[in-house]
Amino acid sequence: MNYVLGLSLLMCCFLQSFSALPWRSAHSELFAFFAVLAWAWGVARRIGVFQVRLSSPILVLLGLSVLISIQYVSGQIEFGGDAIILLLYVFLCISALLVAQWHGDDAVWPVALALALLITALASTLIALTQALGVWGEAGWIVQYSGFRRPGANLGQPNHLATLLVMGAASLIYLNQRLSVSRPVTILLSLVLFVGMGVAESRTGLLSGLALCFWWFARRRVLVRALYWPWIATCALALIAIMWVWPPLISHIHEAGTPQKGVTINTSAGIRVEVWQQLWDAMWIKPWLGWGLRGVSTALNAVQHNYVHSSPFTYAHNIILDMMIGMGIPLTALVVCAASVWMWQQVRNVETTRSWYAVGLLIPLGIHSLFEYPFAYAYFLVPAMLAIGMLGQQVERSMTKIVSSRILYGMFFLFGLVLVWLSVEYLNIEEDFRIARFESINLGQTPAGYEQPNTLLLTQLKAMIAATRTVPRPLMAAEEIDLLRAATLRFPWVPVQNTYALSLALNGNSPEAIRQLKVLRAAHGEKVYEGVKATWVELAQTKFPQLKVLALP
């Protein structure tokens, strides 16, 4: 039972209820990092000889770490903090793969993982139901939700909830095979998960659920207790029916019985397709090497002034487009082709319930990654890497190295120290950011003698807070304007963008200031821009007459 603590911490990722700016998911994701660290440490204590099989996924991740280092040295990744965070995520993935390797043929740990994910999915469904029905609104263990449509449980995002629920459904199918769960219990738990899917109203969740049903049908021969196809078809139809019925039902409840017409699940594409086109245009500005990992917001800023409508994306909402923006077209094509070949080989060789379950866990993450960026969250990366580790054990032949226990324990100890340091540093940044926001709107008074935290690792957040505190004025130092530029490109938030544009206008760079205003207008909408424009007009009349010559868009 070397994985009990790790699995408990993994469950906390999805169920803990606290989130705050500037990094809303930080508290949940820290649980994922400590979960893998605890799990790896527990498994390492059990084995005598540390063998590391250099599988294809591990080699790809090692290559990614080299790419991150090169991009930081070359300036494609501007902040050292971004490079550190990316390298930590790479190490997290490698550690999870090693955990799966070191478990070897242990048949118990996949069952424990499935139980943890299923329990978490069921609990999240109940939390989402309380949010939708508006009960227990003051409970501290439930994230407060102001609406009643599309709650996201404690994850705060309905699509994340749906991906968790589909992982829970795959876990239920696996547990039904391994533990011989009775049919009534299986049906009851399935209905709870279906209701959770209806509450989330997630289109990606619907696609993932149907894809899981297809995978269930296509590889039902490897399951010990294989069901006839009508059962699988019934599950797919039940999922569609509940997602179709829920929107008018919950609206009917909240409108005190008033009949609701035309209330359905949202089927519009939204702004995402337009932004994809804009990112496609930006990609062709730097097609060979890309804009750098985490460079989506920078790429968008380069072209948004040409468009009327856009959105302040920091991820492309499509993993392939994210890769093309981050590392260029040639390397993306190589990685996608290699990953497709590897995955096809694994799927073709699925002959066990465990390998079937591994693919079942990867299906919702893969489909979700085509429309959003769940791959950027540690709490989804951990089960995905464990699943890839399960698959890698079945057919792949790769080089194996024996690693010194001192080296391995030293790496995990260093990993733990960095996590603790980052945790403390981030908590200080979170408090400082709260104070900086109050200062920017002249709310309250900063405590006398307050000292800003000394930030060593999370330099990107340090720059963002510094930009929040910056007051635009003439004769600003070039270094100060460059910091505003870097913060604006990394964090496309209205206050930071406005400060940067105003600083440019007051320091002799009117063309770029006008362009940044057009970017702000496209990304945040006409209403927000009109407020910013009114502020500029007022400043031109009262404080900065040099702004009068600007032809504001």
What does 60-79 look like in DSSP terms, one character per residue?
A: HHHHHHHHHHHHHHHTSS--
Closest among 482, 487, 464 to 23, alpha carbons compared: 464
pLDDT digits (tens, 9 = 90+) for 418-469: 999 999 999 999 999 999 988 887 777 887 778 899 999 999 999 999 999 9
User: Is 97 domain-assigned?
Assistant: no
User: Is 111 domain-assigned?
Assistant: no
User: Is 201 domain-assigned?
Assistant: yes
Structure confidence at residue 227 (pLDDT) = 66
Cα 383–chain centre separation? 14
**Residue 104: band (very low, low, confident or very high) from pLDDT cuts 50, 70, 90:** confident
Please give the radius of gyration of the chain, using alpha carbons only, rounded to the nearest integer: 25
Share of the chain above pLDDT 70, in %: 96
User: Is 396 domain-assigned?
Assistant: no
Structure tokens at 182: 């009775």
Q: How many angstroms separate the CA atoms of 120 and 113, rounded? A: 11
Structure confidence at residue 261 (pLDDT) = 58
**Residue 147: band (very low, low, confident or very high) from pLDDT cuts 50, 70, 90:** confident
The two counts, helices (H) then strands (E), for the chain are 21, 2
Tell me what the mean pLDDT of segment 387-408 comes to.
79
User: Is 427 domain-assigned?
Assistant: no
Structure confidence at residue 246 (pLDDT) = 92
**Residue 140: band (very low, low, confident or very high) from pLDDT cuts 50, 70, 90:** confident
User: Is 205 domain-assigned?
Assistant: yes
Q: How many angstroms separate the CA atoms of 425 and 428, rounded? A: 5
E strand or H helix at 164, and its extent?
helix 158-178
> Rounded to whole angstroms, what are the CA distances from 522 to 83, 276, 278, 464, 515?
29, 14, 11, 21, 11
Q: What residues make up the domain containing 154? A: 119-265
Cis geometry, peptide bond prior to residue 383 (ω within 30 degrees of 0): no
50 DSSP β-pair partners: 403
Question: Helix/strand/coil (H, E, C) string of 117-154?
Answer: HHHHHHHHHHHHHHHHHCCCCCCCCCCCCCCCCCCCHH
Task: Phi first, then psi: give them for residue 174, nearest 5 degrees.
Answer: -65, -45
Most confident of 13-27, 226-240, 390-404: 13-27
Domain boundary among 199, 234, 265: 265
Q: How many angstroms separate the CA atoms of 357 and 112, rounded? A: 13
> Rounded to whole angstroms, what are the CA distances from 493 to 25, 306, 490?
17, 19, 9
Task: Phi first, then psi: give them for residue 403, nearest 5 degrees.
Answer: -110, 140
E strand or H helix at 251, and its extent?
helix 229-254
Sort 65 into a burial class: Cβ within 10 Å, 0-12 / 13-18 / 19+.
middle
User: Is 477 domain-assigned?
Assistant: yes
pTM of the model: 0.95
**468-475 long-range contacts, Cβ below 8 Å, gap at least 24?**
468/433, 468/436, 468/437, 468/440, 468/495, 468/496, 468/499, 469/436, 469/439, 469/440, 470/499, 470/503, 472/499, 472/502, 472/503, 472/506, 473/503, 473/506, 474/506, 474/507, 474/544, 474/546, 475/507
The domain total for the chain is: 2
Structure confidence at residue 260 (pLDDT) = 56
> Rounded to whole angstroms, what are the CA distances from 347 to 153, 350, 359?
32, 5, 7
pLDDT digits (tens, 9 = 90+) for 505-551: 999 999 999 999 999 999 999 999 999 999 999 999 999 999 999 99
Structure confidence at residue 182 (pLDDT) = 85
Structure tokens at 46: 């059990």
Domain boundary among 265, 292, 318: 265
Domain boundary among 212, 231, 265: 265
User: Is 113 domain-assigned?
Assistant: no
